[in-house]
């Protein structure tokens, strides 16, 4: 059932261990069976086991798999959670923190947009600027860096420092903390209070960490504190798949694990149960060019062996025409569209490819692109109007209404509304009754209308389009782009009869993303037979019988933003992840010209040959 290295990992009991788990090596199986082994053979109490993942979805998925393995029972007592959820649990139980003190991601964006506007920092894409600032703030806090010495990726250093300081000041003033602050507060608590630290050490005597390559400095520091002095820490990951450096991940921590724990057992899962040997070989030829990595070698358990198809085309039209012909070829072999994927470096590439395929009667599942329609600034505003209207109870403002309270400007302070617990009557006593009643009239009108009419009313009746016009002028960005976002939303909502149906569809799609989008096992496409189009980042953890990597050119992959050696190494890891999604067929295509200009083939393609 298990190979030699898997048995070695599952059988590990006490002390530190690091498992190098390459693509398709069965790491989740190893983790769940090792927990089972601890409980059944080492007689470890389930409540003394902590399993940490990086996403809520991963924690839930692993918990379900373990529960199935154990048929429920004692397995229910094992703690599965993300770093943030586990560390927040420590704060909540030890310091009585409340959930209302935690800033949601949406609130964080709201704070930053307000601060960016206050300082007049211009950008062609405020949403992208906000997200990049969020990533930089997370990097500083997560890796315990000095903000004054930090080189931001998002804007001028002096602008970033202003925003960073103002953001932290706003949080302190409002009695809030973000998810990155949870880590810092937990670390300080455990450093300063030995009694509390001992309580948690006594509870979590065995710690397992999945996707360890994505850990940051403060997370590692906390884990070190909790694991000591027993050091029953079992980490699983692959430094070659560390692709979230922009969020603060530090693969070098995994590489340095033996420095933290010299006595640690090192186990390499060296059998790839996913890809053919040829795919493993070309992936290896690429990733071996990274200097900062742990050496490892894998061999295939897949008996098939089809040579990867690496080609160069004159332009993207020729490239995509050939992709269409290959899709048809694979379909004739019995491979369904849902078992294929087209991987791109950037979200901006998805729509063009999807449209090209649609014109040739090939349906595409581009869930990430659909999400992007709803991730833009305009969409967030419109959806806040709609959600706020649907949730409105006539007595209190809700979070969605507060989000659009001054879009357009109504001169009603968000802080003041929050200070009176969002009570409408209390706000009326502070501000002009006409201002409040006019806004609430718009909300009542919106909730009565069908989707297209509601959007039209928000644009004209509620004054949102005029707000966008002023916003475009103030931020020196083209109004056409904002109007295009509006038109996309009009097209999307026209598919539904009621606002409730529209919102439920969005929520359903977001909840199932990553579950129904690109099934992990081949042949699980179900009745939704569409080819998957996604970014290389979005493909992490998935696998497909046939994979197309398109536009493999310099400036795209690696991105033109890569300047330092560590940037190129991360881009190479991302390309490696894309290659290793393929089970049987790998197709890597580049073009000679893009937008009428010559473009070089990616350095990573050259490394494959």
Which residues belong to the annotated binding site for ATP?
21-28
CA 543 to CA 339: how far, in whole Å?
8
- 3-state class of 262 per DSSP? coil
Nearest to 127 by CA among 460, 559, 539, 471: 471
Tokens of 120: 């007049």
State the angle between helix axes of 499-512 and 367-375 in degrees (0 to 180), rounded to the nearest 10: 130
Nearest to 570 by CA among 557, 583, 586: 557
CA neighbours closer than 13 Å in the CB half-sphere of residue 285: 12
Q: Any idea which residue has 């950008």 for tokens? A: 123
Nearest to 415 by CA among 208, 123, 40, 114: 114
CA 604 to CA 556: how far, in whole Å?
11
Q: Indicate the Cα dihedral angle 200, 205, 210, 211, nearest 10°.
A: 70
Tokens of 374: 């709803």
| Rg of the chain, C-alpha, whole Å | 26
Binding site, by residue number, is 21-28
CA 226 to CA 217: how far, in whole Å?
15
Using a 10 angstrom Cβ sphere, with 0-12 exposed, 13-18 middle and 19 or more buried, the burial of residue 66 is buried
Cα angle: 593, vertex 599, 601; to 5 degrees: 110
Tokens of 71: 């048929």
CB neighbours of residue 508 within 10 Å = 11
Cα angle: 144, vertex 155, 146; to 5 degrees: 20
State whether the Cα torsion 425-385-171-111 is positive or negative: negative
CA 538 to CA 345: how far, in whole Å?
10
Strands 593-594 and 597-598: antiparallel
């Amino acid at each position: 059932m298990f190979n030699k290295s898997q048995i070695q990992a599952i059988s590990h009991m006490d002390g530190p261990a690091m498992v190098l788990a390459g693509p398709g090596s069965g790491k989740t199986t190893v983790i769940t069976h090792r927990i089972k082994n601890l409980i059944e053979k080492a007689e470890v109490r389930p409540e003394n086991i902590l399993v940490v993942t990086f996403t809520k979805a991963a924690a839930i998925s692993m918990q379900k798999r373990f529960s199935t393995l154990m048929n429920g029972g004692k397995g229910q007592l094992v703690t599965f959670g993300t770093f943030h959820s586990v560390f927040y649990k420590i704060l909540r139980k030890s310091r009585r923190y409340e959930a209302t003190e935690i800033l949601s991601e949406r609130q964080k964006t709201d704070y930053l947009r307000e601060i960016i506007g206050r300082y007049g920092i211009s950008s062609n894409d405020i949403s992208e600027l906000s997200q990049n600032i969020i990533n930089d703030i997370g990097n500083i806090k997560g890796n315990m860096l000095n903000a004054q010495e930090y080189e931001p990726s998002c804007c001028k250093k002096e602008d970033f420092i202003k925003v960073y300081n103002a953001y932290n000041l706003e949080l302190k003033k409002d009695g809030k903390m973000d998810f990155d602050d949870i880590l810092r507060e937990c670390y300080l608590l455990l450093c300063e209070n030995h009694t509390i630290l001992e309580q948690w050490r006594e509870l979590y005597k065995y710690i397992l960490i999945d996707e360890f390559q994505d850990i940051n400095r403060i997370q590692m520091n906390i884990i070190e504190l909790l694991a000591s002095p027993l050091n029953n820490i079992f980490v699983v990951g692959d430094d070659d798949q560390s692709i979230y450096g922009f969020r603060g991940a530090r693969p070098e921590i995994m590489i340095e694990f033996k420095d933290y724990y010299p006595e640690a057992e090192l186990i390499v899962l060296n059998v790839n149960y996913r890809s053919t040997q040829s795919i493993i070989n070309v992936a290896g030829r690429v990733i071996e060019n990274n200097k900062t990595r742990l050496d490892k070698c894998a061999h295939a358990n897949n008996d098939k062996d089809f040579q990867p198809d690496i080609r160069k085309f004159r332009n993207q039209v020729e490239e995509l025409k050939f992709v269409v012909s290959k899709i048809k070829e694979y379909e004739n072999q019995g491979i369904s569209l849902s078992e294929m994927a087209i991987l791109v470096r950037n979200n901006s590439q998805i729509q063009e490819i999807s449209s090209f395929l649609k014109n040739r009667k090939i349906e595409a599942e581009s869930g990430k692109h659909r999400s992007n329609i709803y991730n833009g600034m305009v969409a967030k505003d419109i959806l806040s109007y709609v959600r706020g209207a649907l949730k409105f109870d006539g007595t209190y403002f809700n979070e969605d209404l507060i989000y659009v309270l001054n879009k357009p400007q109504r001169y009603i302070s968000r802080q003041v509304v929050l200070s009176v617990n969002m009570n409408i009557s209390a706000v009326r006593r502070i501000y002009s009754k006409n201002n409040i009643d006019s806004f609430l009239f718009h909300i009542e009108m919106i909730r009565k209308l069908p989707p297209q009419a509601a959007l039209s009313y928000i644009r004209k009746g509620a004054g949102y389009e005029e707000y966008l016009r002023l916003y475009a002028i103030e931020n020196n960005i083209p109004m056409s782009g904002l109007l295009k976002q509006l038109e996309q939303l009009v097209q999307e909502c026209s598919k539904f009869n009621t606002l409730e149906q529209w919102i439920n569809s969005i929520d359903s799609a977001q909840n199932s993303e990553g579950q129904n989008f690109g099934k992990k096992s081949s042949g699980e496409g179900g009745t939704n037979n569409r080819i998957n189009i996604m970014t290389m980042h979005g493909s992490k953890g998935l696998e497909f019988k046939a994979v197309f990597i398109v536009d493999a050119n310099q400036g795209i992959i690696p991105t033109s933003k890569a300047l330092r050696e560590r940037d190129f190494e991360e881009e190479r890891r991302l390309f490696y992840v894309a290659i290793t999604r393929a089970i049987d067929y790998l197709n890597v295509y580049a073009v000679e010209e893009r937008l009428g200009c010559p473009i070089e083939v990616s350095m990573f393609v050259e490394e494959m040959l």
